[in-house]
């Protein structure tokens, strides 16, 4: 039974990391081959090969690291393995967080819940949770206000929702102080909104994207929502596209 649980933890972790790697390297390649702001056509095979290469690397790194920590569950071994993971060039904060969450569960089902490694992991996790900030709006405030008004006109957010509350979700402050926006649209559409704000450069790049979107929108399982619509825009995405390109 423990073997099955461990396999399930690794499978879910690989699924989450694969999603993050696809987003990370697609953006990286698009940015690398863009010229003077114009879109440069990049072979899809180039993206697929790069992502496949990195997925293979991460699958090997995760299995090896987890085995090291389980075989010698000390604080020093844990810190060494996590340091190697953190130093990997495409290790985003989201990937690192997924790994530490999974490792905690992996140690538990390995009957190592009282080990040095598990205790240190738990203490480190709790210490970092409250330090996450929300998105930071980096364009003109007038554009932020226009975004709010247009979302209201289209009926995508509650008619009684206040502008100041909306601004507070994009002020770069502590995420724990953010109150979710009252959206009147599908989960996919509200998640898509923040993806587009990121793509068009209205908000600063945030490595804990999914966690912030979850807090602002109230949507649980943001990674799964993104995966559901994948490369295709969700239903009614044209509303969001029109709003953002008009700002």
Residue with tokens 């599908």: 186
pLDDT tens digits, 154-173: 999 998 899 999 999 998 88
pLDDT tens digits, 194-216: 989 988 889 876 657 788 899 99
Please tell me whether residues 21 and 105 are part of one structural domain.
yes
pLDDT of residue 194: 92
Domain that holds residue 95: 2-129
Return the structure tokens found at 146: 């226009």
State the total domains in the chain. Answer: 2
The answer to whether residue 67 is domain-embedded is yes
The answer to whether residue 136 is domain-embedded is no
In this prediction the pTM is: 0.52
Apex CA 235: angle with CA 11 and CA 26, to 5°?
A: 50
Q: List the single range of 109-118, 121-130, 140-149 with lowest mean pLDDT.
A: 121-130
Question: How confident is the model over 97-125, as a mean pLDDT?
Answer: 88
Predicted confidence band at 238 (pLDDT cuts at 50, 70, 90)? Answer: very high
Q: Is the pLDDT of residue 125 over 80?
A: no
Please tell me whether residues 234 and 156 are part of one structural domain.
yes
pLDDT of residue 205: 60
pLDDT greater at residue 97 or residue 72: 72
Question: How confident is the model over 9-21, as a mean pLDDT?
Answer: 90
Percent of the chain scoring above 70 in pLDDT: 89
Distance CA 153, CA 159 (A): 9
pLDDT tens digits, 130-152: 567 888 898 899 999 999 999 99
Please tell me whether residues 27 and 122 are part of one structural domain.
yes
pLDDT tens digits, 27-82: 777 766 654 445 555 567 778 888 999 999 999 999 999 999 999 999 999 999 99
Please tell me whether residues 223 and 177 are part of one structural domain.
yes
Apex CA 224: angle with CA 218 and CA 228, to 5°?
A: 115
Q: Which run of H or of E encompasses 29? A: helix 2-32
Please tell me whether residues 111 and 9 are part of one structural domain.
yes
Please tell me whether residues 171 and 217 are part of one structural domain.
yes
The answer to whether residue 229 is domain-embedded is yes
For residue 174, list its beta bridge partners. Answer: 133
Distance CA 85, CA 18 (A): 15
pLDDT tens digits, 55-67: 999 999 999 999 9
């Amino acid at each position: 039974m423990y073997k099955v649980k461990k396999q399930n933890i690794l499978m879910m972790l690989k699924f989450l990391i694969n999603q993050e790697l696809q987003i990370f390297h697609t953006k990286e390649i698009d940015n690398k081959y863009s010229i003077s702001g114009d879109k440069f056509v990049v072979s899809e095979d180039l993206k697929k090969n790069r992502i496949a290469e990195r997925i293979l690397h991460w699958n090997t790194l995760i299995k090896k690291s987890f085995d090291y920590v389980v075989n010698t569950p000390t604080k020093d071994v844990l810190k060494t393995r996590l340091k190697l993971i953190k130093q990997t060039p495409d290790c985003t904060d989201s990937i690192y967080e997924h790994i530490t969450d999974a490792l905690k569960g992996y140690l538990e089902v390995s009957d190592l819940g009282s080990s040095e490694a598990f205790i240190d992991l738990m203490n480190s996790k709790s210490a970092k949770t409250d330090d996450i900030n929300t998105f930071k709006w980096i364009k003109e405030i007038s554009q932020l206000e226009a975004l709010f008004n247009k979302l209201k006109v289209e009926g995508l957010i509650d008619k009684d929702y206040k502008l100041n509350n909306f601004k507070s979700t994009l002020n770069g402050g502590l995420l724990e102080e953010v109150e979710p926006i009252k959206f009147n649209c599908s989960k996919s559409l509200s998640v898509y909104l923040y993806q587009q704000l990121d793509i068009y450069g209205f908000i600063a790049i945030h490595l804990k994207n999914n966690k912030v979107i979850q807090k602002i929108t109230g949507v649980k399982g943001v990674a799964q929502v993104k995966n559901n619509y994948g490369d295709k825009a969700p239903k009614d995405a044209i509303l969001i596209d029109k709003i953002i390109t008009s700002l």
